[in-house]
Structure 1
């Protein structure tokens, strides 16, 4: 049975969404607009799934101040103990 939680609505100011595939990761970042208009700015970038590219993706996310990342993938991902 579903139970009601005490969570409050939250707007994440700096967020990224990742669509993960075997050969590439597509990342959409949404942040406050630099114009100060109260609107949001968005950018989409695609990165190969090679280590150097994923490091660059992480650096971009840190550089724009992303605080939350969500992920979508169509393949199975297994979490190994100790990983």
Structure 2
């Protein structure tokens, strides 16, 4: 087995904070925060630009906070993970 550096097989992208909308609009996209990795009980949306986009094949990992090491797949949304300290 050949060892490779993690950065050679994947890339890490951090989400950015966005303005959250109370309801979905025709221009908005889903906004994912760390609590959304567990369920879809409180959907949030944003019209903010220049966000990090999560694609269906991406693996989302919460690195910090109360939900550290949570994994999620299958999202096609804007990834905006706000980690609590």
Normalising by structure 1, we get a TM-score of 0.26
More strand by share: 1
More helix by share: 1
